[in-house]
Amino acid sequence: MFLILPFIYTPTVFGGFWGQLKPVFYPKSWYEVNNILKNDKDNFLTLFFPWHQYTRFRFANNRVVANPAPYFFEKPVLSSQNYETIPLYTHDIRTESLHVEGLLSIEKEGVNLVGEEIEEKLPWGQSLSPINVKYIILAKDDDWKRYRFLDKQTDLKKVYENDDLVLYQNLKWGVEEPIITEEQ
């Protein structure tokens, strides 16, 4: 009797939860960008946009999934851990993440995280250098067009682009000593 119970109560498991679970494969571009990052022998962070913990990826059949970037790329990736719900937007207290939140707030709303108005546009490369960000990956999924301002940055260089991803290199990386390192 006890051997039959799991089969009675979990019939959907054997059918892939009625088609909800399907294997997906990362695009070739993810492997290509991973190779670029792996071949760079420096110690650095890579920032991943769009800045969402859960987002739609075309390669995942346009389903909303947890951002796989920190687990896929072989170099450390800084990606969002924001819930983005009304009662709780974020629980993320990482210094690097809060720094990026502040930069995005200034870029989108002209206001920093303490509510002060900031009128000038930020140089993103220089602004990311203190948190040791050498590369930015922009996945062309979800609301990626909101990050087109990166193309106008003079201190970022586009080193890879295809239909899925854009990889920018921070030209200001390594100019100053980072205030945050991997060891912290």
Q: What does the pLDDT read at residue 19?
A: 60
Contacts with 121 (C-beta within 8 Å, 6 or more apart), sequence order = 107, 149
CB contact at 8 A, 103 and 122: yes
Q: Which of 173, 78, 76, 77 is nearest to 123 (CA)?
A: 173
Question: pLDDT: is 18 or 166 the higher one?
Answer: 166
Q: Which of 93, 120, 94 is nearest to 106 (CA)?
A: 120
pLDDT of 181 above 60? no
Q: What is the mean pLDDT of residues 161-173?
A: 98
**pLDDT digits 0-9 by tens, 105-131:** 999 989 887 889 998 889 999 999 999
CB contact at 8 A, 60 and 26: no
Mapped onto helix, strand or coil, the DSSP state of residue 4 is coil
Q: What is the mean pLDDT of residues 92-98?
A: 86
- Boundaries of every domain in the chain: 22-91+125-170
Computed on alpha carbons and rounded to an integer, the radius of gyration of the chain in Å comes to 19
CA distance 84 to 81: 9
